[in-house]
């Protein structure tokens, strides 16, 4: 197996650059300067620029040695999935602002014994999502690592000039706003469990859940709909619904009451792991759905627009005037908030998905 140590930094770059050609927003002019120089460059018409960066560390955010579902025969699949996911979590941040993806820069720290074919598969996974999302990968940096792979991606997106006031911000929630979430919840946590415990559910269910964990879909169309419908407060659900609701509340200076019976459990999760579906929906991370808040009339408009775009969404509660107080209540109003939830990157690993 040829490794990145064998072909060297520049041999590797020569193989990766062709994999990026062609990925870019539909109809957009080519960049002035793509990979290969000190920096990438493009002509930018006046716009509001939106930028975000996210980093995945081996052993913390991903595990290339996880068994795949039986249908995934290819040994390069983990790398391809990883490329997809690394870009997806970044595009999710743009979705959560209501921005259109423009371009991305990729920074890889790789152990020298990494197979070249693995890195090529990683880039194919990124490129396939980039192409679908209209995001151009303009370049990056590839360096050695000693112990663990680290993948950092920075994405830049846009909203039209003068529309900076319409960005979906965490700090725009107000007491009385309705709170809602797109899609279903708990799928990613269930998918990780299925990967770690093969045979714990039917193979169809395991495959579908694993796919949701490995290839999350950034909710770009949902973000677009929300911004155009006049919603001003949103974020993506990456650390877990309750943990992320707490962040939205902290930024907005409000509280939230979330109704457990309204949480959009994934029907596949409910069928496969009935006793854990609620826990994963409330506390599991990495679903990359959008959590948003708006006054009732805006919420109604937003839900119409989302429905027209084929994006499911569910009202799960409302914002309150009790700053910092986030509670999950059951059907009769009892507080059933779990003692801890969410993901702290510096916490010692403790069975969190």
Residues 234-253 that bind its own copies (CB under 8 A): 235-236, 251
Whole-angstrom distance, CA of residue 305 vs CA of residue 156: 25
Rounded (5°) CA angle 128-133-136: 75
Query: Binders of its own copies among 101-120, rule CB under 8 A?
Result: 103, 105-110, 112
Cβ-contact 249, 323 below 8 angstroms: yes
Query: Binders of its own copies among 130-159, rule CB under 8 A?
Result: 138-148, 150, 152, 154, 156-157
With 0-12 / 13-18 / 19 or more C-beta atoms within 10 angstroms meaning exposed / middle / buried, residue 15 is middle
Give DSSP secondary structure letters for 225-236: HHHHTT--EEEE
Which residue in the set 80, 81, 93, 266 belongs to the binding site for its own copies (CB under 8 A)?
A: 93
Instruction: Please report how close the Cβ of residue 346 comes to its own copies at its closest, in angstroms.
Output: 5
Which residue in the set 21, 28, 331, 347 belongs to the binding site for its own copies (CB under 8 A)?
A: 347
Query: Binders of its own copies among 210-229, rule CB under 8 A?
Result: none
- Asked if 61 interacts with its own copies (CB under 8 A), we say yes
The sign of the dihedral angle between the CA atoms of 187, 205, 340, 153 is negative
CA-based end-to-end distance of the chain: 32
Select 92 or 188, whichever has its Cβ closest to its own copies. Answer: 92
- Asked if 340 interacts with its own copies (CB under 8 A), we say no
Whole-angstrom distance, CA of residue 234 vs CA of residue 291: 5
Whole-angstrom distance, CA of residue 297 vs CA of residue 195: 42
Total residues binding its own copies (CB under 8 A)? 79
Select 188 or 252, whichever has its Cβ closest to its own copies. Answer: 252
Structure tokens at 329: 């209540």
Residue 144 three-state SS = strand
Select 157 or 264, whichever has its Cβ closest to its own copies. Answer: 157
Query: Binders of its own copies among 33-52, rule CB under 8 A?
Result: 33, 36-52
Instruction: Please report how close the Cβ of residue 220 comes to its own copies at its closest, in angstroms.
Output: 13
Which residue in the set 17, 25, 55, 315 belongs to the binding site for its own copies (CB under 8 A)?
A: 55
Which residue in the set 18, 30, 53, 197 belongs to the binding site for its own copies (CB under 8 A)?
A: 53
Q: x/- binding map, residues 287-326, to its own copies, per CB under 8 A?
A: ----------------------------------------
Give whole-number Cα distances, 279 to 188, 331, 340, in Å: 12, 16, 11
- Asked if 59 interacts with its own copies (CB under 8 A), we say yes
Which residue in the set 68, 85, 136, 169 belongs to the binding site for its own copies (CB under 8 A)?
A: 169
286 torsion bin: left (phi>0), alpha (psi -120 to 50), beta (else): left
- Asked if 23 interacts with its own copies (CB under 8 A), we say no
């Amino acid at each position: 197996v040829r490794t990145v140590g064998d072909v060297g930094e520049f041999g590797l770059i020569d193989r990766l650059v062709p994999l990026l050609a062609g990925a870019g927003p539909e109809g957009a002019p080519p960049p002035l300067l793509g990979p290969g120089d000190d920096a990438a460059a493009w002509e930018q018409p006046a716009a509001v620029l939106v930028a975000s960066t996210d980093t995945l560390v081996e052993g913390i955010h991903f595990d290339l040695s996880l068994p795949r579902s039986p249908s995934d025969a290819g040994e390069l699949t983990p790398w391809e999935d990883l490329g997809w996911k690394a870009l997806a979590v970044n595009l999710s941040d743009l979705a959560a602002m209501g921005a259109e993806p423009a371009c991305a820069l990729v920074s890889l720290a790789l152990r020298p014994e990494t197979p070249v074919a693995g890195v090529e598969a990683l880039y194919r996974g990124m490129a396939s999502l980039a192409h679908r999302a209209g995001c151009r990968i303009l370049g990056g940096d590839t360096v050695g690592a000693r112990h663990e792979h680290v993948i950092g991606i920075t994405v830049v997106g846009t909203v039209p000039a003068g529309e900076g006031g319409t960005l979906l911000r965490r700090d725009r929630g107000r007491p009385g706003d309705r709170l809602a979430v797109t899609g279903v919840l708990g799928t990613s946590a269930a998918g990780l469990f299925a990967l770690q415990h093969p045979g714990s559910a039917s193979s169809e269910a395991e495959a579908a859940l694993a796919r949701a964990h490995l290839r999350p879909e950034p909710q770009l169309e949902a973000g677009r709909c929300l911004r155009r419908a006049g919603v001003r407060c949103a974020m993506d659900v990456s650390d877990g619904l309750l943990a992320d609701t707490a962040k939205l509340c902290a930024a907005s200076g409000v509280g939230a009451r979330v109704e457990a019976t309204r949480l959009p459990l994934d029907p596949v999760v409910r069928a496969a792991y009935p006793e854990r579906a609620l826990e994963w929906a409330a506390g599991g991370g990495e679903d990359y759905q959008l959590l948003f808040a708006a006054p009732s009339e805006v919420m109604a408009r937003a839900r119409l627009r989302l429905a027209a775009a084929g994006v499911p969404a569910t009202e799960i509660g409302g914002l309150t005037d009790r700053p910092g107080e986030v509670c999950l209540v059951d059907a009769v109003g009892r507080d059933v908030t779990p003692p801890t939830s969410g993901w702290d990157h510096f916490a010692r690993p403790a069975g969190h998905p």
